[in-house]
Structure 1
Amino acid sequence: MESQKTAARRGPKPNLHTRDDLLRAGVRLLHDSGYAATGVKEIVETAEVPKGSFYNHFASKEDFGKAVVDVYFAQGVGELRALLTNESMPPLVRLHTYFNERIRGYRAGGYLRGCLMGNLSLEVADHSAVIREGLATHFKAWAALFEDCIAEAQATGAIGTRLPAPLLAQFILNSWEGALLRMRAEKSDAPLYEFTEVVFRSVLA
């Protein structure tokens, strides 16, 4: 009897579909408008769920922001891993293919939005340890996929430089994120092509 009363006080269990709807709305809104400009009211209206349901799933907007970062990274990492571990292509071809595909996507999108993780790094990382730690974790995982591909290319002699693969991977990811910022400022894919020229003609030559 006591357990039933306790359950009644706590209310119904949160609906996981509602959580997914909120996160999908969050990825879209934070990518389009940024963290500060996106309020809980706008999130629940976009997800078409009651406002109270937001706090059934997330302790705060900051907690929600961290979850959005996790979802955004998870949406892309599977496809990225499949491409960069595809042994039917040489490792450098896999890397070049990845960046070429991303450039085509940004061009088709009018050079808008860029990378949500990069955007939030600029906007929120100084103010939220929770979101910053999530971003750092995912950036490391992203760089690790580049690292494995680069190390494989070094082992086959396709890359002549003796610089460590982890250092090269971090440099390439950092440079890519910087190129995306310039792309948005200039509304041009020139910074992205300049990135690929330097990386594949010099850094990974």
Structure 2
Amino acid sequence: MKYLKAIPILFLTFLFSAEIPVLAYSTISTAFNTNSTISTDVSRELDNNLINMPEENVVEVFNHNENLIYLTEDDLNLMAKIVYAESKGEPFEGKVAVASVILNRVLSPGFPDSVREVILQPNAFSCVINGEISVVPTEECYNAVYEAIKGNDPTNEALFFYNPSIATCSWMQGVEKADSKSIGQHLFFKTSY
């Protein structure tokens, strides 16, 4: 009888293990199908926490306020390419800031919910032409991506950035900015609306 008390603890430990979120999600949904209120609440909570759960092998996980972004090797490579193309010649902090903007956009409801979709979104990054970005990132760019994944965001959770001295986008120049911060040659900001 005393061993029966351990079964719920083992079940919960298994259920909420960070290594098996998909199995936990399906187990919870199945376990609570008899009570739709509990099932809906648990499903909604898990859906809010599982962003970009790819079919591919996950190599990194970004955790911000209990929202998880599961990153594949392809995601990391795309991020490093954007960091290289958008912040070549900028200080390391500026490179981390560019990577942070990508992660912030994935978390924001106003943007797509995967790294690939954020990067390939039309007109999102000037270095992406026709859905392609053909640069070879440096080790420093990858280090900046990993620093952003660790949660180091020097931008105050910015969603946009540009170089005011060379920008050709009138929207960036004219939009009302909130929480702006200059890092290197770039200005990082959120919009006020």
Same fold (TM over 0.5): no
- Higher percent of residues as strand: 2
TM-score (norm 2): 0.29
TM-score (norm 1): 0.28
Work out which structure has the larger RCO, using CA pairs closer than 8 Å and 6 or more positions apart in sequence. 1
- Higher percent of residues as helix: 1
